[in-house]
Amino acid sequence: MSSSRSTQPANPQPQANEAPSSSSNNTVGTVGERLARLRHALIGWLDLQAKEELRLLQTQGPSSAEAVEIEAYTLLLDLRNEPQQALLALQRCSELMSLAQGLKKPLCEAAVWRVMQTLQSFLMLHPAALHSVGMAARLYAESGEPELEQMMLESRHYVLFHAQMYEELYRSCQAQLSLPGNRERSFGYRLLSGAAGAAYNMGIRCPDARARQTWWREALQLHREALDMSRQQGQRMMEAISLLNMCVVLASLGEVEEARNALRGVDALPQVDQGRPGWMAWYRLAEALIQVHEDPTQTAAATTAWTGLLEITRSLQDGGLNHAAAAEVALRTVRILGQERGQLQDALWAADTLLEQQVRSMRELAQNMSDTLSAVIERPRLMQEKERLAEHGFALESSLAQRNAELSSALAKVQAEASIRAAAEAALKRAHDELEAQVQQRTAELEQAMRALMKQEKQLALSRMVAGMAHEMNTPLGNARMAASAIQAQGEGLSRSMAAGTVKRSQLSELIAGLHKGSSLMDRSLQRVAALVERFKSLDSQGTSESAQTFDLCALVQELSLSWQNQLKEGQILLQLEMPASLEIHGHAHACVQVLQELFANSLSHGLAGQQEPPPHLRLTLRLRPDLGQGQGRELIELNWHDNGAGVAAEHLARVLEPFFSTRLGQSGAGLGLSMVHNLVVDLMGGQIQVISPDRPADRGTCVQLLWPRALPGPDRSSKDTQASPEARPGTSLNQS
């Protein structure tokens, strides 16, 4: 398969990024930065999409070297397909080369060599083009630009391709691909495409059918490797080019169904630039090859397909340089298939047309060589013009010397003003240093005051906790002491009666009943004290021995909601769950059960206790959300527990998570529920908790928001922890009285 430029299939020319469009980049960066972007983007003159960008750069006051480089690129803008204009541009390039060498700027000189290589390739001066490629590569290497050096070395493949030196091209690409790491680098795709294009063209020129098939199979394998690489790099246009190349090769091999699949793959790709030079020519040719190989018999459909191939082949002859490669492939296909299928007249026409093109190419080459020779003869006159310009340059230098003297005087004035400014800046710096010292002193005093305040807050919280614990334990301990005192008094009375010998049966019965009642009261009181101690110990979530495991949090919530049904019915409370169908997490299942039980008990005991209007309501929402604080793809579980009860007063909101804080201390509860939830979520589960209670009556109630990681680190972490959760389903009422 052949191609005239890098935008067409099977071209070995490097496939750089598109040049920056003038609409998005013409105001970004300095002239040097914007010119550097163009330098890395421009490959062939048909790829140049930065006409407006170059014109803007010319108006931005570039340096002499930058101006020469910009003008060299501009020579490619209006070239089109006219050899005479290309020859004039080449002559101008020779003049620019003299200027670039005089400026001694390697990047500028390399740019002129690049443009000369493109023009020489267009004029089929392939030996000269190879020389220009080598010069540009050497200059880029000296300038420390390895990417541009590699780009020019790959441009050598471009020249070999258009010189129809396919064997040399194939060997060169394979040699580059055999070097360590080249297949994985960005230019590996271009080496694979170059080798594949050479293999296809060697095959289509091969008279032996078996050898032709072998070369085409090699081309197909190389295109498949290029396709895999383009997909790995996420390059949509390179993927489309590889698929279109494969379609042409598969159709040439007669594998029609696979060729159609490749063409469908091209159509399925988004954002494919069908306006690229030569793209539609190859696309139409691929369709024609599929149709002509689909039914090789002498049917009406086969005749129509053959006629379509001939029409496309004739239309490609007038497409100029953009369609030259596709036209040659079409002609050679007509010649091969015409001989195989008995269409000898069409095969003869294709052979004659190929011969005429070769003769015409030789004539054009001879004319270009003649014109080039004329340009060489014209060189002495150009040298004389150069000397005249040099004399003019000397005059400019004297003028510049005078201008420099004037600038030196102005510079002296500026330096005097700068000394005054330096003195002012020194005074300002001293004032700034003094202010900074004062700020540091104030900061130290503030830090000391904050440490004292934090110490007072800790002592106050400890005293509140001790007072709460003492208040809760006073009642059961007092009951136990009272029962013990009563038992002791009854025992002493029995001892006195026994000593006096006046023990009665009724007295023993009364004593036994008192013992039973007292021991029962003492047991209940001590059990309550033990329970308070256990709940107090449970505030230390670090002491838990529960190991992390993978479980379905949604299934756990469903099970708990079923266990709450009796209490919900008694209080005529509506419970609404809004969560996914399932949500697997890696964490502490028992801790999650404790948290949910405490939230449920807190709502029933405090938020919804005795409420009739509005109807009591509980809502639990559960969802996944990204951890924006980590920035590494970690997911968080967000659980919101909301009731429409009495809410929490603003003055109590800051203390609801403290141990033994309760507005009903001594009446019901010990004030440990939300404190236990806080410790489990923050210390054990590594999360956060927030209690929200709006002041407005319309938003009455309390919302407890919990956030904790979906997956805790550990050796038993399941691979499912990182799977995406299903979409949350709408909330459904589980109980409604």
Is residue 442 over pLDDT 70? yes
| More confident of the two residues 241 and 536 | 241
The first and second tokens of residue 324, run together, are 């030259």
133-159 pLDDT, tens digit per residue, is 888 888 888 888 888 887 787 777 777
Q: Kindly indicate the confidence band of residue 639, based on its pLDDT and cuts at 50, 70 and 90.
A: very high
Looking at the predicted structure, is the pLDDT value of residue 725 above 60?
A: no
pLDDT at 540: 53
Decide: helix, strand or coil at residue 613.
coil
The size of the chain, in residues, is: 737
Q: Are 670 and 475 in contact (CB under 8 A)?
A: no
Nearest to 611 by CA among 652, 571, 669: 571
Q: What are the b/e assignments for 610-626, b being 16+ CB within 10 Å?
A: ebeeeebbbbbbbbbee
Q: Which residue has the higher pLDDT, 362 or 705?
A: 705
User: With 70 as the cut, is the pLDDT of residue 272 above it?
Assistant: yes
Distance CA 155, CA 172 (A): 12
Per DSSP, the chain holds a count of helices (H) and strands (E) of 23, 8
Calculate the CA dihedral of residues 242, 245, 247, 250 and round it to 10 degrees.
-120
Tokens of 449: 């005051």
Which of 263-277, 361-375, 450-464, 627-641 is predicted with the least confidence, judged by mean pLDDT?
A: 361-375
The one-letter code for the residue type at 329 is V
Q: How far is CA 695 from the centre of its chain?
A: 43
pLDDT: which is higher, 577 or 24: 577
Confidence at residue 326, expressed as pLDDT on a 0 to 100 scale: 84
Over the stretch 357-381, which tens digit does the pLDDT of each residue have? Answer: 767 766 765 665 555 555 555 556 6
- Give the pLDDT confidence of 649-700 residue by residue, as tens digits: 777 776 677 766 665 554 555 556 677 888 888 888 888 888 887 765 555 7
**pLDDT value, residue 382:** 62
The token pair that represents 30 in the structure block = 């300095």
CB 116 within 8 A of CB 69: no
Q: Does the domain spanning 1-163 belong to CATH 1.10.443?
A: no
- The residue type of 561 is S
If pLDDT is split at 50, 70 and 90, which confidence band does 18 have?
Answer: very low
Cα(312)–Cα(295) distance, integer angstroms: 18
Q: Name the burial class of residue 270, with classes exposed (0-12), middle (13-18) and buried (19+) by CB atoms within 10 angstroms of its CB.
A: exposed
**170-217: per-residue pLDDT in tens?**
888 888 788 887 777 767 788 888 888 888 888 888 888 898 889 989
- Which CATH fold topology does 544-735 show? Heat Shock Protein 90 (3.30.565)
Domain boundaries, the chain: 1-163, 164-277, 280-372, 404-538, 544-735
Kindly tell me if the per-residue pLDDT of 258 is higher than 80: yes
DSSP code for 322: G
Three-class HEC string of 184-227: CCCCHHHHHHHHHHHHHHHHHCCCCHHHHHHHHHHHHHHHHHHH
- Please tell me the predicted confidence (pLDDT) of residue 726: 35
Domains 164-277 and 544-735 share a fold: no
Whole-prediction pTM: 0.43
Q: What is the pLDDT of residues 539-590, one digit of tens each?
A: 554 445 568 889 999 999 998 888 898 888 888 889 999 999 999 999 988 8
3-state secondary structure of 67: helix
CA atoms within 13 A on the CB side of 360: 8
The domain made up of 164-277 is a member of CATH 1.25.40.10:
yes
Q: Decide if pLDDT at 3 tops 50.
A: no
Contact 622, 661 (CB under 8 A): no
Helix (H, G, I), strand (E, B) or coil at 702: strand
pLDDT, the chain, mean? 76
Q: What's the token pair of residue 304?
A: 């129509």
pLDDT of 621 > 90? The answer is yes
Average pLDDT over residues 388-394: 72
pLDDT at position 399, please? Answer: 78
- What letter does residue 712 receive in the DSSP assignment? -
